[in-house]
Amino acid sequence: MFGGVTLQAATPELPAHHRDSAVRDAAPHTPPDPHTPPAPHALVVPPASYHPAPRIPPRVLRAAILAGATAVTALWGAQLQPSARLDALFASGAHLTGLLAGYGVLVMLVLMARIPAVEHGVGADRLARRHALGGRWVLTLCTAHALFALCGYAAHTDTDLIAAARDLLGYPALAAATLATALLLVVGVSSARAVRRRLPHEIWRSLHLLTYLAVALGFVHQLAGPDVASSPIVVWVWAMLHTTVAALLVWYRLVVPVRQALRHRLRVVEVRGEGPGVVSVVMRGSGLDALCAEPGQFFRWRFLRAGLWRTTLPFSLSAPVRDDTLRITVKALGNHSRRVRRLRPGTRVLATGPFGALTAHRRTRRHVLLIAGGVGITPMRTLFETLPAAPGELTLLYRANSADQLVLRTELESIAVARQARLHYLLGPSDGSYDPLAPQSLHELVPGLTEHDIYVCGPPGMTTAVLASLARAGVPEDRTHVEDFAF
């Protein structure tokens, strides 16, 4: 027999068990609900209309960004007039940093434009991290640009820096650039980890919208600068770049969500408890197969009720799309997720997506290991059901503090039996006194560990620890797949 369920606990009175004793000895749980999707006896077959979006791999995106930066630098170099004068040297530095800052802002916007090919190929968490890194580079370039321009003007007019700054602010285009830089600084400060923790999400999001105003003001400044305004062709190219980015933002962040809302007309049909502080929300709509949602992906949900309608919440699907229904499973971790449990049937829902790259396309090996912690089980449950695998090729490790925190347990056990897959519950405190995911433990639980593709989803601390443990266990980095939804 290839499949089975075992329970491994930290306390001696709860040793590892085979399936029958595990189910008997653990805390009781609710029997299957009639609305629960049935356990699969075969893989979920995508509908005929399913056409997965093309994917842009991370290396291609990185190469495209670097190619664009190289082209911008070449544009600066083509117009460079060599000179040993101090003011000319400062001016050259100002022109280069200004062009790169303008290009960098456009890259930041594209990364967050929710373009499906980019989202599905790179992953939302990686895009968010690159967006944050790009923001730091842009602020550095903007600061360098301002300092170079100020020093160059002071050297050219033979005045001090204060007088030079006063003169420069008298030019409308330069005043616009100063305001744009100030707005970007506000956005950057609000995104610092220490500040963002203290800001309500709605305020942080509103401050982030200032980026659009900063880009518009910066564009006005660039059109007046010598590197852009000196050639009609360059003006046209620069304008087309900005127009293209604006069109992508309007289409994917405004038009597509509105179109999806009108087409699919999602409503809540059921909210049911799954465990302490955990609920599943089942929604029904029309034509949901057209969403082409893959197991492991997530949507951004907006529930049209008091206290929730102003915020979009990223939650993974906890079951494949079936019969025009979607299901998410949510743990109460903050004010908004706590309000989800009070949703009522009939509540309208706006869902944007799907997003994320924690899907089957990352798989490179025959054997697959899924590692989940807490409510991170939600995307793993869909992968556990749908990943193509022969008996014995699929294993799920589910880490929780206690048996009553095992979410979707009945479904997981049904899937394990139907697919002859392995399911291990790893129960015990998370204070470091018990580590069932240490390298030696992983090798014992999963024979041939290093020959597996490994998907990981859980709380940030657990995910970091698991990735470190896998590295120490000898698993190549390119075989570990993780996506962080706390971005």
pLDDT on residue 196: 80
In terms of residue numbers, what domain contains 331? Answer: 265-355
User: Do 241 and 137 have their domain in common?
Assistant: yes
Is the pLDDT at 27 greater than 60, yes or no?
no
On whether both 203 and 269 belong to a single domain, the answer is: no
Q: Please, how many CA atoms are within 13 Å of residue 214, restricted to the half-sphere of its CB?
A: 27
Among candidate residues 178, 169, 102, the one with its CA nearest the CA of residue 146: 178
Tell whether the model's pLDDT for residue 48 goes beyond 60. Answer: no
Whether 329 maps to a domain, the answer reads yes
Q: What CATH number corresponds to the domain at position 401?
A: 3.40.50.80
Domain closes at, from 325, 355, 385: 355
Per the CB < 8 A criterion, the answer to whether 464 and 430 are in contact is no
Cβ-Cβ contacts under 8 Å for 169 (sequence gap 6 or more): 175, 178
pLDDT surpassing 50 at residue 40: no
Q: Are residues 209 and 282 in the same domain?
A: no
The structure's pTM equals 0.78
Same domain, 199 and 67: yes
Looking at the structure, do residues 155 and 253 belong to the same domain, yes or no?
yes
Quote the radius of gyration of the chain (alpha carbons, Å): 26
48, part of any domain: no
> Which of 259, 279, 304 is the last residue before a domain boundary?
259
Domain boundary among 323, 355, 387: 355
Domain contains 53: no
With b for 16 or more beta-carbon neighbours within 10 A and e for fewer, the 157-185 pattern comes to eeeeeeebbeebeeeebbebbbebbebbe
Q: Does residue 271 sit within a domain?
A: yes
> Could you tell me the CA-to-CA distances from 117 to 318, 323, 478 in Å, in that order?
23, 26, 21
Query: 46 in a domain, yes or no?
Result: no
Q: How confident is the model at residue 43 (pLDDT cuts 50, 70, 90)?
A: very low
User: Tokens in use for 483?
Assistant: 């996506």
Question: Does residue 472 lie within any of the structural domains?
Answer: yes
* φ/ψ (deg, to 5) at 170: -75, -15
**373 and 335 in a common domain:** no
Strand partners, 367: 452
Which whole-number Å values give the CA distances from 69 to 75, 245, 304, 473, in the listed order? 10, 16, 42, 39
Taking the C-alpha atoms of residue 282 and residue 269, their distance in angstroms, rounded to an integer, is: 6
Question: What pLDDT score was predicted for residue 379?
Answer: 94
Q: Is the domain of 225 the same as that of 281?
A: no
> What is the rounded average pLDDT of the residues 240-247?
93
Can you tell me the mean pLDDT for 162-178? Answer: 79
Residue 52 has what pLDDT? 58
Nearest-angstrom CA–CA distance, 414 and 33: 13
In sequence order, what are the residues at sequence separation of 6 or more whose Cβ sits closer than 8 angstroms to the Cβ of residue 381?
Answer: 318, 319, 408, 411, 412, 415
Q: Cβ–Cβ contacts within 10 Å for residue 125, how many?
A: 17
Rounded to an integer, the average pLDDT of 461-469 is 91
* CB contact set of 321 (below 8 Å; sequence gap of 6+): 288, 289, 291, 293
Domain identity same for 16 and 89: no
Residue with tokens 């852009």: 228
Q: Is the pLDDT of residue 20 over 60?
A: no
Are 433 and 9 in contact, with CB atoms under 8 Å apart?
no
Residue 42 is assigned to a structural domain of this protein: no
Q: Note the pLDDT tens digit of each residue in 406-428.
A: 999 999 999 999 999 999 999 88
Q: CATH number for the domain including 300?
A: 2.40.30.10
Cα(456)–Cα(369) distance, integer angstroms = 9
pLDDT of residue 453: 94
**177/304 same-domain check:** no
Select the more confidently predicted residue: 136 or 12. 136
Neighbours of 43 (CB within 10 A): 13
Tell me: do 421 and 348 sit in the same domain.
no
C-alpha dist (Å) from residue 463 to 228, 395, 437, 485: 46, 17, 11, 12
Q: Are residues 371 and 398 in the same domain?
A: yes
The rounded mean pLDDT for the chain is 83
User: In the chain, how long is the greatest CA-to-CA distance?
Assistant: 87
* Among the listed residues 318, 278, 277, the one whose alpha carbon sits nearest the alpha carbon of residue 301: 318
In a domain, 44, yes or no: no
Q: What's the rounded mean pLDDT across residues 360-384?
A: 92
Amino acid at 71: A
Task: Give residue 457's pLDDT.
Answer: 92
Residue 1 or 60, more confident: 60
What pLDDT, on a 0 to 100 scale, did the predictor assign at position 34? 36
Same-domain pairing of 180 and 132: yes
Q: Which of 183-187, 228-232, 386-390, 402-406 is predicted least confidently?
A: 228-232
Number of domains in the chain: 3
CB 131 within 8 A of CB 259: no
Amino acid at position 60, single letter:
V
